[in-house]
C-alpha cells in the first residue's frame, strides 16, 4: 500500500471513529422510552434517515466530556411513506435535552432546510428547557426557533411530539406549530413547574395535573392528539402526514377511493323529537371513505367535531356539531378549536366539509365574561377568510348566529345542502312563539292549546329548509341517503376553485 493510500485509509478510519463517538448515546433516562435516534428510525421509513450536524459540538468550555457531539439534539431528513420530511429529536441524555447555542443553531438550520425544500417538519421534544449554563445564548436561540416556526406557519406543516418534559420557553415553539401529540402518562407541557408554582403562589399540584397529556388534551386544549405510548404517538404522526400536502403550494396526497357505507340508514339517524340527541359520527362515518376519521382535539370541546378524512381518495377537513354534547352548542372552546382547524385546512388547500346541527352560541354570564363575542367571532372570521372549497350540509337545527357561522352561504360557502329534517330559523319554535305571541298567549283561555297550535304553525314554515331554499341560501334539499353522492359531485366541481383575495399584509383576526 502506498503512503498516500495508507494516509487515506487512516483518515477514513478516523472518520469512522469520530462518527461512532458522535452517534453513541446513553440509555434513555425513563424506562420504556426510546433514544433520540431510535425515535427517528421508528418514525421514518426504514433506512431513509440522513443526519445533519452530527459533528457539531456543544459550546461549553471544558474537556471533551463536556462538549458532546450533537449537543443534545439529532437533526436530519428522511421519508414517511416515501414522502420527504425533516425531523429533529431532542436527546434527554445530553444535558437533560436542554437547548444550548449549538443545539439551537442545529434546529434552526433544519427549519430553514425544511422551508427551502418545502417539506413538513416534525419535532420530537424531550427537553428540560433552556440550558442555564449558556445563559442568554440559550434564550436567544429559543426566540430564533420561534421566529422560524412563524415563518413556516401556513407554508409547511409543523408537527410537535411531546415525549417527555417540555417546560418554560420550550413549550412555546410547539404551541405555534400546527399539531401537538402527547403520550399519556409520560408527556408534560407547562410554562412553570409544580415546585415553582408552590413556592410562588402556595398552590400544590402535580406535573400531571398541571400539564400532563390528558390535561393538555381535554382541559386546556394545548394538545391535539393523545397517544397510549411512544409507538402510538409516532404512528399518529405518520397517519396525520398521509392527509397533508408537503407544503402550501402542493395538493394534498390522493389515494384510491375507499369503500362507502350504505347510505340508507342515514334516513333514520335524526330523531323525530327535536330535543333527542344522536351521534353525529354516525353520519360522518357513512359519508367518508372507509368510514375513517382522524379526530383533532377529540377530547377538547367535544360539542364540536374537527377531523381529517377522505372523500373519493382526497383529503377533506370535517367540521361538525355534536348533538351528544350540549346539543352541539357553540361555546368559547368549540369556537376556538374549530377556527384554528378551519384556518389550517385553508392554509394547506384542504377542502372543508361542514355538518350543521347547532342551536346557536351558548349564552350565560360565564361565557359573556369569558369573551364569547370576541372569541366566538374567531370562527366567523375563519370561515369567511377561507378560500378552499367549502361544502355545508344542514342536518337539523341551524338557529341564529349558529346558522350563520357554520359554513353558511353568507360566509362564502360554495355549495349548501340541507336534509328535509333541517330547521333554519332565528330560534326554535318554542322560543319564537313565546316572543312573538306572548300577549296573545297571556289572554288566551287555554294558553297551552294555543301554544301548541302556534308552535305547529311555526314549525311548518320556519321549521323547514324550504324558506332558505327559496332564497337560494340552500342550493338543494336532499335525501340523507344521497349525501355522499352529492358531496362527491360538489367537491369534484370545486376542484379548480379560484378565490383571489385583496392585497394586504394580513387580516386582524380577533385574538
CA 361, distance to chain mean position in Å, is: 22
Q: What's the pLDDT tens digit per position in 364-406?
A: 999 999 999 999 999 999 999 999 999 999 999 999 899 999 9
At 31, the pLDDT band (50, 70, 90 cuts) reads low
What is residue 134's DSSP assignment? Answer: G
pLDDT at 1: 44
Can you tell me the mean pLDDT for 292-302?
Answer: 98
Provide, rounded to the nearest whole percent, the portion of the chain with pLDDT above 90: 69
Looking at the predicted structure, is the pLDDT value of residue 271 above 50? Answer: yes
Which of 58-67, 78-87, 440-449 is most confident?
78-87
Collapsed DSSP state (helix, strand, coil) of residue 66: helix
> CA-based angle 442:447:448, to the nearest 5?
145
- Is the CB of residue 94 less than 8 Å from the CB of residue 61? no
CA distance 163 to 237: 13
- The residue ranges of DSSP E strands in 96-157, in sequence order, are 121-127
Q: Residue 353: CB partners within 8 Å, gap ≥ 6? A: 309, 311, 316, 317, 318, 319, 391, 392, 393, 487, 491
- Is the CB of residue 329 less than 8 Å from the CB of residue 301? no
pLDDT at 217: 97
Rounded to the nearest integer, the mean pLDDT of the chain is: 91
Phi, psi at residue 190, to the nearest 5°? -160, 160
pLDDT at 15: 75
Looking at the predicted structure, is the pLDDT value of residue 112 above 80? Answer: yes
Q: Show the 3-state SS of 99-110.
A: ECHHHHHHHHHH
Looking at the predicted structure, is the pLDDT value of residue 5 above 60? Answer: no
Which of 111, 88, 99 lies closest to 137 in space, CA to CA? 99
Q: 31 — alpha (psi -120 to 50), left (phi > 0) or beta?
A: beta
The bridge status of strand 423-425 relative to strand 390-399 is parallel
Can you tell me the mean pLDDT for 337-347?
Answer: 98
Any bridge partners for residue 354, and if so which?
319, 392
pLDDT at 95: 81
Which of 255, 219, 244, 246 lies closest to 344 in space, CA to CA? 244
Q: Which residue has the cell 414517511?
A: 80
Can you tell me the mean pLDDT for 351-376?
Answer: 96
CA distance 366 to 376: 14
CA distance 145 to 115: 13
Provide, rounded to the nearest whole percent, the portion of the chain with pLDDT above 70: 95
- Is the CB of residue 217 less than 8 Å from the CB of residue 21? no
Phi, psi at residue 360, to the nearest 5°? 125, -165
- Is the CB of residue 360 less than 8 Å from the CB of residue 401? yes
CA distance 142 to 169: 7
Burial 295-304 (b: 16+ CB within 10 A, else e): bbbbbbbbbb
Looking at the predicted structure, is the pLDDT value of residue 499 above 70? Answer: yes
Which of 161-175, 179-193, 296-310, 454-468 is most confident?
296-310
Q: Cell numbers of 319, please?
A: 367540521
At 2, the pLDDT band (50, 70, 90 cuts) reads very low
Q: What's the pLDDT tens digit per position in 221-264?
A: 999 999 999 999 999 999 999 999 999 999 999 999 999 999 99
At 63, the pLDDT band (50, 70, 90 cuts) reads very low
- Is the CB of residue 348 less than 8 Å from the CB of residue 152? no
CA distance 437 to 456: 13
At 355, the pLDDT band (50, 70, 90 cuts) reads very high
- Is the CB of residue 406 less than 8 Å from the CB of residue 365? no
* CA atoms 397, 400, 406, 410: torsion sign: positive
Amino acid at each position: 500500500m502506498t503512503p498516500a493510500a495508507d494516509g487515506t485509509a487512516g483518515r477514513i478510519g478516523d472518520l469512522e471513529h469520530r462518527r461512532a463517538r458522535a452517534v453513541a448515546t446513553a440509555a434513555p433516562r425513563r424506562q420504556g422510552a426510546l433514544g433520540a435516534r431510535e425515535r427517528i428510525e421508528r418514525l421514518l421509513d426504514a433506512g431513509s434517515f440522513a443526519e445533519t450536524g452530527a459533528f457539531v459540538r456543544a459550546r461549553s468550555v471544558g474537556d471533551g466530556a463536556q462538549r458532546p457531539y450533537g449537543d443534545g439534539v439529532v437533526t436530519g431528513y428522511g421519508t414517511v411513506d416515501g414522502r420527504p420530511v425533516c425531523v429533529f429529536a431532542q436527546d434527554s441524555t445530553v444535558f437533560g435535552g436542554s437547548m444550548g447555542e449549538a443545539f439551537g443553531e442545529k434546529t434552526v438550520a433544519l427549519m430553514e432546510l425544511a422551508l427551502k425544500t418545502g417539506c413538513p417538519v416534525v419535532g420530537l421534544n424531550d427537553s428540560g428547557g433552556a440550558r442555564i449554563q449558556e445563559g442568554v445564548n440559550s434564550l436567544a436561540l429559543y426566540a430564533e426557533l420561534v421566529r422560524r416556526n412563524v415563518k413556516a406557519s401556513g407554508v409547511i406543516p409543523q408537527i410537535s411530539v411531546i415525549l417527555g418534559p417540555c417546560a418554560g420557553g420550550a413549550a412555546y415553539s410547539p404551541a405555534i406549530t400546527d399539531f401537538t401529540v402527547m403520550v399519556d402518562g409520560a408527556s408534560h407541557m407547562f410554562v412553570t413547574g409544580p415546585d415553582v408554582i408552590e413556592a410562588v403562589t402556595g398552590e400544590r399540584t402535580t406535573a400531571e395535573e398541571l400539564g400532563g397529556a390528558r390535561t393538555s388534551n381535554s382541559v386546556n386544549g394545548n394538545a391535539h392528539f393523545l397517544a397510549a405510548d411512544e409507538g402510538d404517538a409516532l404512528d399518529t404522526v405518520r397517519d396525520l402526514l398521509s392527509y397533508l400536502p408537503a407544503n402550501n403550494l402542493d395538493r394534498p396526497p390522493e389515494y384510491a377511493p375507499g369503500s362507502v357505507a350504505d347510505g340508507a340508514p342515514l334516513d333514520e339517524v335524526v330523531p323525530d323529537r327535536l330535543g333527542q340527541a344522536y351521534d353525529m359520527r354516525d353520519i360522518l362515518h357513512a359519508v367518508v371513505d372507509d368510514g375513517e376519521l382522524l379526530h383533532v382535539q377529540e377530547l377538547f370541546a367535544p360539542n364540536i367535531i374537527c377531523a381529517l378524512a377522505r372523500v373519493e381518495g382526497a383529503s377533506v377537513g370535517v367540521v361538525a356539531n355534536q348533538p351528544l354534547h350540549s346539543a352541539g352548542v357553540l361555546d368559547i372552546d368549540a369556537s376556538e378549536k374549530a377556527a384554528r382547524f378551519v384556518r389550517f385546512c385553508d392554509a394547506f388547500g384542504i377542502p372543508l366539509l361542514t355538518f350543521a346541527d347547532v342551536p346557536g352560541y351558548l349564552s350565560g354570564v360565564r361565557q359573556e365574561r369569558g369573551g364569547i363575542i370576541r372569541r366566538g367571532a374567531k370562527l366567523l372570521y375563519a370561515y369567511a377568510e377561507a378560500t378552499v372549497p367549502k361544502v355545508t350540509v344542514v342536518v337539523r337545527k341551524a338557529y341564529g348566529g349558529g346558522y350563520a357561522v357554520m359554513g353558511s352561504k353568507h360566509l362564502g360557502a360554495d355549495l349548501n345542502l340541507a336534509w328535509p329534517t333541517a330547521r333554519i330559523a332565528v330560534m326554535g319554535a318554542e322560543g319564537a312563539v313565546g316572543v312573538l305571541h306572548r300577549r296573545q298567549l297571556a289572554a288566551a283561555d287555554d294558553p297551552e292549546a294555543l301554544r301548541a297550535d302556534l308552535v305547529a304553525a311555526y314549525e311548518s314554515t320556519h321549521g323547514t329548509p324550504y324558506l332558505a331554499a327559496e332564497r337560494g341560501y340552500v342550493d338543494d334539499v336532499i335525501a340523507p341517503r344521497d349525501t355522499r353522492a352529492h358531496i362527491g359531485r360538489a367537491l369534484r366541481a370545486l376542484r379548480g376553485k379560484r378565490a383571489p383575495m385583496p392585497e394586504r399584509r394580513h387580516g386582524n383576526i380577533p385574538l
